[in-house]
Amino acid sequence: MLLVPILLASAAIAQTPPENPYYARTNTFGIFTAYSNDSSHIMLGDAEQRKLFDVGFSYNRRIFLDRIVNWQYSGEILPVALESDPQSRVVENQTYPTVLTHVYNNEPIVSCAPSTVPYTEYLNNGTVYSSGTYTVSCAGHNWNIGEAISPVGMQWNFLPRLKTQPFFTGHGGYMYTTHPIPIYYAGSFNFTFDLGAGIELYRSKTRSIRAEYRYHHISNHETAGENPGIDNGLFQVTYSFGR
């Protein structure tokens, strides 16, 4: 009589599927925010002291999974993509015929390194009308409202059986702003790409938090009058969920 319950229990245990050992979702949705406080010539861009602030949504789809890597398609939509340009300040120090100082707030400039240029103005008869110097520097920022989408992207998570996983990622897309960036003679429509690395911390098999650093580039690809480009080091945090 004892043999029947033992056989039934063994059969039930045998039919129970083994627990999935991987922290790797098939479909992943994310909400993220990203910020960069400065820009410089990291690789391709020349525009300095540009700030970025983004809020967006991401979607990842698993392509391949084994003990070493979880390879995923990755796409992002950014309904909030803000970019800030430093405004130039021109100080005219006139030394002739009288000593005067004039300050002008002007359009955004590529470099914020202060520069001083002497000037001399002549009358038609060749006599000096006025002379002095112009000093150009940056003062204040102006935020530009935009949106962006990166439909082409990949993410590679390593050691997917662990709750803490290092990963690499990269994306390509575009950004549109209400005003030309980073200067007036550049375009409002720009192409973007980024390359980054970070850590993904799984709280459960379905939920995780990603923290990463990205090299982020913005460029109009010579489709406008000027194309100084913007290079930023971008910090991004993403809350992810899915199955």
pLDDT digits (tens, 9 = 90+) for 122-149: 999 989 989 999 998 888 889 999 999 9
The pTM of this model reads 0.85
Both 210 and 239 in one domain: the answer is yes
Domain that holds residue 100: 87-141
Both 114 and 219 in one domain: the answer is no
Q: Beta-carbon neighbour count of residue 162 at 10 Å? A: 13
Domain for residue 186, yes or no?
yes
Both 129 and 174 in one domain: the answer is no
Both 99 and 61 in one domain: the answer is no
**How many folded domains does the chain comprise?**
2
Both 135 and 153 in one domain: the answer is no
The whole-number pLDDT of residue 67 equals 96
CATH of the domain at 151: 2.40.160
Written as tens digits, the pLDDT of the chain (243 aa) is 545 555 455 554 555 556 789 999 999 999 999 999 999 999 999 999 999 999 999 999 999 999 999 999 999 999 999 999 999 889 999 999 999 998 988 789 898 888 899 999 999 998 998 999 999 888 888 999 999 999 999 999 999 999 999 999 999 999 999 999 999 999 999 999 999 999 999 999 999 999 999 999 999 999 999 999 999 999 999 999 999
